[in-house]
């Protein structure tokens, strides 16, 4: 079974997707981390973000792996060609460049192929922007999470602080950066951020994490019951 969780930054996708995967014993795939990893590799190698063919070549050539810390059920490390970039993928410079990298069709097709291969191995919760629309249009459950932009900016800051990246962005710039990224991700020509027509849209602004989880677990149970009949 594939559970697709799409939505803008700070909508709660990552926390929700990880928790659902833990509770159901599914694998978890963070596709945003893959676009971030390619961005980090480009910045480290001095590849200009305007150099479309070099970025496409990079996306095809690099190896992205997800690593587990001892005792963890779900991966929390991201490695690119064996190098741990877990922290680097969350830095403001990566935030700034990633929408550009993710807008390139050839980068996307290289990463989508890897995403399909990774999630084909087991029941997986896959989070991203185009999972329900492009990567897994036949996913059994598609969830599209939304939330008020100010709430999303606050969550993103808290997430960064959890990754020990706090203090590098003040709240106002975090909010502006998030709006700019939403705008770029929603308006790009190729695979924009969008809810699939058959996605279940959930506004998480006034919901607790437990309420969101409960809603998704109920949907999953309904779908499994339907499939069993």
**Identity of the residue, 126 or 213, whose beta carbon is nearer to ligand DC in the bound complex:** 126
For residue 22, the minimal CB distance to ligand DC (Å) is 19
Q: Could you give the 3-state DSSP secondary structure of residue 8? A: coil
Give the chain's radius of gyration (CA, Å): 17
The token pair at 58 is: 């990079």
Minimum Å gap between C-beta 126 and ligand DC is 8
Q: Does 129 bind ligand DC (CB under 6 A)?
A: yes
Site map for ligand DC, 20-39, x if CB under 6 A?
-----------xx--xx---
Contact status: 181 vs ligand DC (CB under 6 A): yes
Task: Considering the complex, state which of residue 150 and residue 222 has its C-beta at the smaller distance from ligand DC.
Answer: 150
Residue found under tokens 């893959």? 34
CA distances from 32 to 9, 15, 133, 155, 214 (A): 10, 13, 15, 16, 24
Of 69-128, binders to ligand DC (CB under 6 A) are: 98-99, 102, 128
Report the residue number, 23 or 116, with the smaller CB distance to ligand DC. Answer: 116
List CB contacts of 127: < 8 A, sequence separation 6 or more: 4, 5, 6, 13, 14, 17, 28, 29, 30, 31, 32
Nearest residue (CB) to ligand DC, 18 versus 36: 36
Q: Which residues bind ligand DC (CB under 6 A)?
A: 9, 31-32, 35-36, 98-99, 102, 128-131, 181, 185
């Amino acid at each position: 079974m594939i559970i697709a969780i799409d939505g803008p930054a700070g909508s709660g996708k990552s926390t929700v997707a990880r928790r659902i995967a833990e509770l159901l014993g599914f694998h978890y795939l963070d596709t945003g981390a893959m676009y971030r990893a390619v961005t980090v590799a480009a910045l480290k190698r001095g590849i200009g973000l305007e150099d479309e063919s070099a970025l496409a070549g990079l996306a095809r050539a690099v190896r992205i792996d997800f690593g587990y810390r001892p005792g963890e059920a779900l991966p929390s490390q991201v490695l690119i060609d064996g190098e741990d970039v877990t922290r680097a993928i969350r830095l403001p410079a990566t935030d700034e460049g990633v929408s550009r990298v993710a807008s390139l069709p050839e980068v996307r097709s290289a990463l989508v192929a890897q995403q399909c291969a990774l999630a084909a191995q087991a029941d997986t919760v896959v989070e991203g922007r185009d999972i329900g629309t492009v990567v897994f249009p036949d996913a059994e459950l598609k969830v599209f999470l939304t939330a008020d932009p100010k709430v999303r900016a606050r969550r993103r800051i808290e997430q960064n602080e959890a990754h020990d990246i706090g203090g590098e962005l003040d709240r106002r710039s975090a909010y502006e950066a998030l709006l700019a990224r939403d705008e770029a991700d929603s308006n790009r020509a190729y695979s924009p951020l969008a809810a699939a027509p058959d996605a279940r849209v959930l506004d998480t602004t006034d919901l607790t994490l437990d309420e969101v989880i409960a809603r998704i677990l109920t949907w999953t149970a309904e779908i499994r019951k339907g499939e069993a009949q």
